[in-house]
Structure 1
């Protein structure tokens, strides 16, 4: 597994980590201190805000988990990959999207640009 694939695996694991202390440690391990995340629903910067955003998503979708959809496509300091959010296991997802990440020289995430392909309806 490449370093970028491992980083993406850790990134997905952070989204699924429900223990606040472990999630916060994961955010610090995966993201640059000045990293940010932006998608059509959120734009946050820094570890505290990223952690709070992930906690809010977990509260909105209790018992759900993110999983990688397909393979990681990467070159230089950029990677893209699809993901799905749904009940744990093989149940159908309620949300699908893809993220594009840029990396720092030390291999952590600097920016995440998220795109939503499938979103739940009201």
Structure 2
């Protein structure tokens, strides 16, 4: 990863992508975040390449942000180890309220600092 790249900013950019309402802006963000054949794994879902990533992010956005009224936010705990970035995120009601979902990302980065492989884990939601 380029030494000038701030890994906390990368985590913030990643999480912000899932909140973007404009499809063109989502496609642009995906191209800037992932290598062309970037991979994303969550539960049983596997996608590869910018088009499949765009479909995945759009589906999540429509379900959780547009229809569900939630927003995603990084928790500020990003850590870098060699070429791997790890951080947590939360899904919270846009209008305020308790955390509805929590996730953990492991991003394996390519030499240019973009995501080569994205492992997303959905964690148990903390008790309120």
TM-score calculated relative to the size of structure 2:
0.85
Q: Give the structure, 1 or 2, with the largest relative contact order (CA under 8 Å, sep 6 or more).
A: 2
Match of 2:63 among 60, 63, 76: 60
Q: Does 1:86 align with 2:89?
A: no
How well do the aligned residues superpose, as a CA RMSD in angstroms?
A: 1.7
Gaps of 5+ in 2: none
Alignment of 1:100-119 (within 5 A): 100-118=106-124
Instruction: Provide the secondary structure at the position in 1 that maps to 2:78.
Output: strand
Most deviating of 66-75 and 46-55: 66-75
Structure 1 Cα separation of the partners of residues 18 and 44 of structure 2? 16
Unpaired runs of 5+ residues, structure 1, are none
Answer 1 or 2: which has greater strand percent: 1
Corresponding residue pairs, total: 119
- The Cα of 1:70 is off from its aligned counterpart by 3.7
Q: TM-score under structure 1 normalisation?
A: 0.89
